[in-house]
Amino acid sequence: MASNGAGNGEFSFDNKRRIGLPKIQTQKTEDENVVCHDDSATPVKAQTLDELHSLQKKKSAPTTPIKSPHVFGVAVSEEERQKQQLQSISASLASLTRETGPKVVKGDPARQAETPKVQQPVHHHPTPSLNISDSGLKFTHILYNLSPAELYEQAIKYEKGSFITSSGALATLSGAKTGRSPRDKRVVRDETTEDDLWWGKGSPNIEMDEQTFLINRERAVDYLCSLEKVFVNDQFLNWDPNNRIKVRIVSARAYHSLFMHNMCIRPTPEELEDFGTPDFTIYNAGQFPCNRYTHYMTSSTSIDINLARREMVILGTQYAGEMKKGLFGVMHYLMPKRQILSLHSGCNMGKEGDVALFFGLSGTGKTTLSTDHNRYLIGDDEHCWSDHGVSNIEGGCYAKCIDLAREKEPDIWNAIKFGTVLENVVFEEHAREVDYTDKSVTENTRAAYPIEYIPNAKIPCVGPHPKNVILLACDAFGVLPPVSKLNLAQTMYHFISGYTALVAGTEDGIKEPTATFSACFGAAFIMLHPTKYAAMLAEKMQKHGATGWLVNTGWSGGSYGSGSRIKLAYTRKIIDAIHSGALLKAEYKKTEVFGLEIPTALEGVPSEILDPVNTWPNKKAHKDTLLKLGGLFRKNFEVFTNYKIGSDSNLTEEILAAGPNF
């Protein structure tokens, strides 16, 4: 083994070998301290990495103290305001049997360096319960009204299936449920709702008793309090400041918190200071199931609404749309109590302030036709019509993404960016580019984004009284006219019917139309009898001079398979003529069976298609199909015929007379 000492010449350099190397000369400058281009910076003030990380985030500026409603004229400190806020949240999470709320503290448990100051549980009675549980000994960390950036971090770190896509949107999975579960939705039937709500045949309201609701509420609250952290959103519904509703959403997932951040109206810091007690609370336990042995339960999923308690409980589903539509149902109950009409519709406004409402079921073109670059978007789905005008209920949009293309829906495409929630989409694993045609998870892929992401959105989302009420139908039978002007009774009849026709495939490959009816164009969400909403609609239309229209975006010249789809360009011309008022000046004639008023001519639309009978080569087939559809309308309306509106049955008879007559 060779030694590496100086005795081994192989590794030594002697002076003789160094003679051939040139000596490096250095020149001294006048000032030895001058350094060329000194880009060194002042050292950071931190002594540890934790201190350095703490410098990265700037504390939010303290908000303006508010006047306490309890201590007149005394300003509440920031610390006291935070304490009151935590007391309110603790009260929301209180167990009804243990009579106390949990110990709550703000902040992410993963970032707590030491035991924080805790808000002691709120006792609802002078004598506290002696029973204590494990959850009563722990802190429940409250992640309160987090920003989208903070919620992204929570989702990506803790929720499997959360990814940032190439556009900046957050892709999430809703678990086993990729749509709503209407058969698992329950409403408490008690003295509050017994006479007010629509019960029985045709109604979406499936009853439960209060005891069962309280069992499910306790289950959800116990689950949420057992978690290390829960997300709490305090937000608003309804852009009308005189009639807005304060909602609190308590959830277990960052995905749910971000979804509701986008879909509800986001309060300013000043509005949050004075938020106080919410008008309605959602307890979303997500994947945690209900007990199937509990009375009224038909599966491990249950969505329960108690209107007297102003509470909603979600068990056994992570589909975020349950919260959105659950609150919409609540608004369908609360708003009519104030003589405000709640509507499942799109709404836009022209430059001159003319407002139009668009009603239509899936596939009728409601989104496409209400999105118009020449008009302001007030909202895409849920609205109120009060004595002040129209207002959007929501603060965001919930758009379908299946087959989404930049060319067809540029506004929706461009809205899918940072802050947007993408539900159940499929994306390329490396570049994270979304394939909107991929239905591997579900066909019901969705995007939830703030309404400000739409360039021509009107903020605040309010407008004057509507001039036009447009009912859209995709008639695959091909017998309804492209456009009809409706009188008030006809508007009520077709509003209650909520008709469209789907094209369903059969086993032998033959495709034929299937009539679909959904009362008030949103039967799954209404609380009262459809005729009550219809009567309110007619009253407001009459009072404010609005005109009703029935627009068919479906087939012409025959049913599906023989006729052809009415061109979108023609439908747009019709909608433009409605907005401009030109269609009111047209000459009209009446059709048979349905008795609809149709224009004889309209600029930009071939006159022959305005009356469907002209486009059918086989006139007998047209008449047979027309009578068939009329019969389907009659059969559907039977469930409403025995319901009286007002003190007598005159209005009911007037609506019935506005239907098919043969």
User: What are the tens digits of pLDDT across the range 307-365?
Assistant: 999 999 999 999 999 999 999 999 999 999 999 999 999 999 999 999 999 999 988 99
Is residue 371 in some structural domain? no
| Pairing relationship of beta strands 185-188 and 207-208 according to DSSP bridges | parallel
Domain membership of residue 586 as a residue range: 352-365+465-658
The number of domains in the chain is 1
Is residue 340 in some structural domain? no
Helical (H) or strand (E) element with 154: helix 148-158
Please list, in sequence order, all residues whose beta carbon lies within 8 angstroms of the beta carbon of residue 541, skipping any fewer than 6 positions away. 466, 469, 488, 491, 547, 548
Greatest Cα-to-Cα distance within the chain, rounded to the nearest angstrom: 124
Helix (H, G, I), strand (E, B) or coil at 377: strand
Which two three-digit tokens encode residue 19? 């003679």
> How confident is the model at residue 11, as a pLDDT?
47
Is residue 639 in some structural domain? yes
Is residue 318 in some structural domain? no
Helical (H) or strand (E) element with 384: strand 382-386
The sheet with strand 382-386 has its strands ordered as 341-344, 382-386, 389-392, 462-463
Is residue 482 in some structural domain? yes
Point out the residues of the chain with pLDDT beneath 50. 1-3, 5-13, 15-17, 32, 34-36, 62-73, 114-115, 123-130, 505-508, 510
Is residue 280 in some structural domain? no
User: What are the tens digits of pLDDT across the range 56-72?
Assistant: 667 665 443 344 444 44
> How confident is the model at residue 76, as a pLDDT?
73
- The reported pTM is 0.86
Is residue 53 in some structural domain? no
Rg (CA), the chain: 32
Please list, in sequence order, all residues whose beta carbon lies within 8 angstroms of the beta carbon of residue 235, skipping any fewer than 6 positions away. 246, 247, 249, 260, 261, 264, 265, 266, 267, 395
> How confident is the model at residue 102, as a pLDDT?
86
Q: What is the CATH number of the domain that holds 625?
A: 3.90.228.20
CA within 13 Å, CB half, 87: 11
Q: Which candidate, 545, 546, 540, 578, places its Cα nearest to that of 388? A: 540
> How confident is the model at residue 96, as a pLDDT?
78
Helical (H) or strand (E) element with 422: strand 421-423
Catalytic residue ranges: 180, 325, 344, 362, 366-367, 381, 446
> How confident is the model at residue 231, as a pLDDT?
98
The sheet with strand 185-188 has its strands ordered as 103-106, 139-144, 229-237, 245-251, 280-284, 311-315, 302-306, 185-188, 207-208
* Cα–Cα–Cα angle for 278, 284, 285, rounded to 5 degrees: 140
Is residue 54 in some structural domain? no
Counted residue by residue, the chain has a size of: 662
